[in-house]
Amino acid sequence: MTGHTEVVSLLVEHGANLEVPSAEDKTPLAFAVSRGYTNVVDILLKAGANIGFQLPSGDTVLHIACEHGYLAITELLLKKGARVDTPNKKKWRPLMIAAQHGHTNVMNILLKAGANVDSQDSYGWTTLHWASFWGQLSIAELLLVNGADVDIPHVDGSTPLMVAASFNYEHIVGILLTSGANIDTQSPNGSTALNIASSKGNISIVKLLVESGASVDLPDNEGWTPLMSSVRNGHTIVVEILLEAGANVDVKLQDQNKRDTPLIVAAVSGNDDCVILLLDNGARINVANSDGLTPLIGAAGEGSVELVSLLLQKGADVNATSLEGSSAASQHCDDVAVAELDVEKRVNIDMPDNEGWTPLMIAAFNYHENVMDILLKAGATVDAQHPNGATALYIASENGHLSVVEMLLEKGASVDKANKVGNSPLMAAAFYGHANVVDTLLEAGASIDNGATDQNKRDTPLIVAAVSGNDDCVILLLDNGARINVANSDGLTPLIGAAGEGSVELVSLLLQKGADVNATSLEGSSALHMALAFGHFDTATLLLNHGASIDAVDKDGDNALLLAAHSGLDGVVKTLIEKGLSVDFTNNEGKSALLNAAMGGHVGVVLVLLHAGANIDQRGPNGTTALLGACKNGHLEAVKLLVKNGAATDLQDDEGRDCIATARVHNHDDVSTSYRHIAEVMWNIYFFQG
């Protein structure tokens, strides 16, 4: 390849610009180098072309020549003064480029020209690292012959030996070791070449390193030895090699939160072959980690029937428990009970963990029917109770596990056995809306009106279903004879509970089924009171249409009008006034509907009450008027409306504060600026009145 040398010479003679870049940002010299036009390169250099030109990537013309392996051009550039170690933006020197592309002849020239054999790129890699990465034996040999540092680490601490071990290049590892590489050098995380090779299952590398004297028990910073790393990843042959080399079979992780042994790691990972190897080499089967986890408990947690069976046959303690109280039987698995019970039924079938969960409860919670069947056939106590009183049936009912509920009932589970606060399985199912479970429990004879024994509540299944808004459960309970007006210890009926939740459909259903619309709780609250207190307009309207009393007051003296005003229900307020409620009625504290509305900023309600003739300056607690209440709580629009309708602006509360003082005292930095606006409004009123 020569290029059009005569044309180039002619253009140069006529003063052509030697540095004009192409669309690819290459000067004529860079272009000629990339094409391998040696004669053109020579002409351009003699004409004064910039030999130090760099592309946006930082590559020089020498980089380009080395990438393509152009030996003659490389020699020419070096002869003409090209710098041998100029880095590009990745800090790759020409030597690295030549090595990456396997051009040993070019590398020879660069090294003779003084290239730094140990220069590092932006990752800290040397040319020897790259040769180890690509598995380039001849490149590595050339570098080592020319004095490359065999142990220089890159930014993560990996040496060329670690890189070669990681990528399974046996010949590279061999030549590095022959050249004096430190076999047990550790990276910042403590890994050695052997640990890395063991973790990746690189059998030939592990053999070579072990034969070359690598320390088989040197752990990384987390305590993982080569043996543990190979066990974790299931590399059985590597495990065998390391054990034959004398690796400590019972070594523990140095992590104080774990302290796993290789056998525990193998068991938890489900690596049967590794478990067998370790046991055959003397691993102690019942050694636990810092959490008390034994190999058997770990294997049980993973659900490996074969492995659990193997460990039991080898003498694992079936009743050992972890620090949390978990045994092999109590692990959340699907098939482990089969293996446990196959071995002479030595397991304590009802042993609870530290939290009181028996294996049967755990299986019920996790919907593991096959495990439950095995446990029950083996004699598990069907009505065993958790410390909170819950049985397996209660747990299954609470979680809506229908088939589990059916199985437990068939096995004789007590349908009404309650937890410590008296909640039965039926109540749990009704509360969480599991209608199919409710139906099954009722068919099994569950007591439909039993209240919880908690003296603070005594809820019935119907009450909890209503409060939870579970319409289907309510219908089922009513169809099965639940008494609709039975109240709990607080006097709360299903209707009052449903009204407080605002379920129009459920309230309508209960009313249709004969619920007492005017029943009241011990606090005097009716269904209407509850609906109004929580701002449920549609529910309140429905109750009013079904004859709810508007005159009843609760223990605080609030009637329907005060509660509606407090919740901002202007439509209900208007209806109640039209039905004859006094617009100025006050509760036990002396609060009126207007004061409630003003303090809540409910402008619509304020307007309805004023139009109905409410006493605009009526005083409430502490001498507070509607205007003072609106100022206190920062409701600017309510203030404007009250002032516009003639509220006295000079009245003071019992502490001597007028509107401006009230606004000021609440004008904190972290409070809305509406207080300042209120004060401004009041000042303007005083100013113009004055």
Contact 52, 27 (CB under 8 A): no
At 132, is the pLDDT very low, low, confident or very high (cuts 50, 70, 90)? Answer: very high
Which CATH number is 4's domain given? 1.25.40.20
Residue 10 pLDDT = 73
Query: Does residue 413 form part of some domain?
Result: yes
Is the residue at 412 inside a domain? yes
Query: Is 80 exceeded by the pLDDT of residue 348?
Result: no
660 located within any domain: no
Those residues with Cβ within 8 angstroms of residue 400's Cβ, 6 or more apart along the chain or in another chain: 429, 432, 434, 436, 437
Q: Which pLDDT value is given to residue 671?
A: 33
| Residue 383, C-beta contacts closer than 8 angstroms, at least 6 positions apart | 391, 392, 393, 413, 414, 417
Contacts of 88 (CB under 8 A, 6+ apart): 54, 57, 58, 59, 60, 63
User: Is residue 585 in a domain?
Assistant: no
Flag whether pLDDT at 171 surpasses 80.
yes
Asked if the structure places residue 64 within a domain, the reply is: yes
Report which of residues 16 and 199 the model is more confident about: 199
Could you tell me where the DSSP H helices lie in 125-255?
Answer: 127-134, 137-145, 160-166, 170-178, 193-200, 203-211, 226-232, 236-244
Contact 209, 193 (CB under 8 A): yes
The predicted pLDDT at position 670 comes to: 33
Last residue of a domain, one of 65, 93, 116: 116
Residue 409 lies in a domain: yes
Q: How confident is the model at residue 339 (pLDDT cuts 50, 70, 90)?
A: very low
Q: Which of the four pLDDT bands, split at 50, 70 and 90, describes residue 26? A: confident
Angle at 190 between CA 184 and CA 192, to 5 degrees: 35
Distance CA(248)–CA(263), nearest Å, equals 11
- Range of 294-303, 345-354, 470-479 with top mean pLDDT: 470-479
Q: Count the Cβ atoms, other than its own, within 10 Å of residue 518.
A: 15
Q: What is the pLDDT of residue 115?
A: 95
Q: What is the pLDDT of residues 72-129, one digit of tens each?
A: 999 999 999 999 999 999 999 999 999 999 999 999 999 999 999 999 999 899 999 9
**Average pLDDT of the residues in 340-360:** 68
Indicate the angle between helix axes 435-443 and 402-410, nearest 10 degrees.
Answer: 10
Whether residue 598 lies inside any domain: the answer is no
Q: pLDDT higher for 386 or 453? A: 386
pLDDT digit string, tens, across residues 460-514: 999 999 999 999 999 999 999 999 999 998 999 999 999 999 989 999 999 999 9
In a domain, 372, yes or no: yes
pTM, rounded to two decimals = 0.56
**What is d(CA 540, CA 503) in angstroms, rounded to the nearest whole number?**
10
Contacts of residue 662, Cβ cutoff 8 Å, sequence gap at least 6? 628, 631, 632, 653
Structure confidence at residue 333 (pLDDT):
46
Question: Given this model, what pLDDT does residue 327 score?
Answer: 53
Q: Which domain holds residue 47?
A: 1-116
Check if the beta carbon of residue 522 is closer than 8 Å to that of residue 553.
no
For 149-160, the pLDDT digits (tens) are 999 998 888 999
Q: Is the confidence at residue 5, as pLDDT, over 80? A: no
The residue among 424, 456, 483 that closes a domain is 483
Instruction: Return the higher-pLDDT residue of 345 and 517.
Output: 517
DSSP state of 418: -
Q: With 60 as the cut, is the pLDDT of residue 201 above it?
A: yes
CA distance 93 to 121: 8
Beta bridge partners of residue 60, listed in sequence order: 54
Cα(626)–Cα(639) distance, rounded to whole angstroms?
A: 9
Mean pLDDT of the chain: 87
Domain boundary among 441, 460, 483: 483
Domain count within the chain: 2
